[in-house]
Amino acid sequence: MTTDYGHDLLFGTFVTPVNQPPQHAVEQAVVADRAGLDLVTFQDHPYQPRFHDTSTLLAFAAARTERVHLTANVTNLPLRLPTMIARSIASLDLLSGGRIELGIGAGAFWDASVAMGGPRRTPGESIAALEEAIAIIRGIWDADERGVLSVQGEHYQVQGAKRGPAPAHPVGIWVGAYGPRILGMVGRVADGWLPSLSYLKGGLPQLAALNRHIDEGAEQAGRDPREIRRFLNVQGQFAPERSGFLQGPPDQWVEALAEVALTYGTSGFILASDDTTTTETYAGEVAPAVRELVAKERGGGGA
């Protein structure tokens, strides 16, 4: 059974936020922007001293780019208050002219988080905290709503916070998630799903089962499952000969990504790349050809 949720395709990069050399990650964002990609993303591990602080990096990269959208992949919630996430994302979206999205996760690497002063949460607690945080973030962004924001959650208590500012555009909240419970939550309250292929024990076929959890969560909340965009972080290497998934020439990549899009409904492909040539080849030879092939298979349509 195939699933195509009908979204236009997006292509981006997953850039390592190394702080030596200091400008490397920013320069790779500029490369992606000039090459015509849609997204640049950075992992967010505040406890990693080899990496820039991702919120700071996003601001600097936004100032150096012109068209590309930027997001964390994904924001570390346990070390960042949801009220402050909301304000910083809205501010950066306003400053960048509507080019910021919010990738967010429930948390991981708990020993490192605790060492930085953050909480230690069980899987169930982390999911509940994330759902509370998303509600708070949306509440802060809803600047047109009368009155202050008050949320008495199990993990977050907001008591009369002033709302605003509203972002410049409808910021997507994209969740990195894998388990059935959190995927159901994605279907209920999120705008997108942002997994990594390397974390899928069952490989690409596992996407079908995980999509079903999202779809069920959406339907139970009275939402259309097509409202939730499906992304995929991928790794690959261009080579003269084919030797595996995204291991070969650009035309092999085109066939593979188009098949994933049409079979599993994935509409955002984010390539791990810290290399200029790889990023430019992906943008110039792969992305437009995948769009063309998918449009042809859809009958020239698209949503």
Sequential DSSP letters for 175-220: EE--SHHHHHHHHHH-SEE--BGGG-TT-TTHHHHHHHHHHHHHHH
Is 158 part of a structural domain of the chain? yes
pLDDT for the residue 303: 42
Is 170 part of a structural domain of the chain? yes
Is 172 part of a structural domain of the chain? yes
pTM confidence score? 0.96
Is 134 part of a structural domain of the chain? yes
Could you tell me if 193 and 177 are in contact, meaning their C-beta atoms sit under 8 angstroms apart?
Answer: yes
Is 39 part of a structural domain of the chain? no
Is 46 part of a structural domain of the chain? no
Is 169 part of a structural domain of the chain? yes
Number of domains in the chain: 1
Write out the residue range of the structural domain in which residue 141 sits. 74-176
Could you tell me if 106 and 177 are in contact, meaning their C-beta atoms sit under 8 angstroms apart?
Answer: yes
Is 99 part of a structural domain of the chain? yes
Q: Residues 91-127: pLDDT tens digits? A: 999 999 999 999 999 999 999 999 999 999 999 999 9
What does each C-alpha distance from 251 to 14, 151, 238 come to in angstroms? Answer: 21, 51, 10
Q: Residues 60-88: pLDDT tens digits? A: 999 999 999 999 999 999 999 999 999 99
Find out whether the peptide bond into 170 is cis, omega within 30 degrees of 0.
no
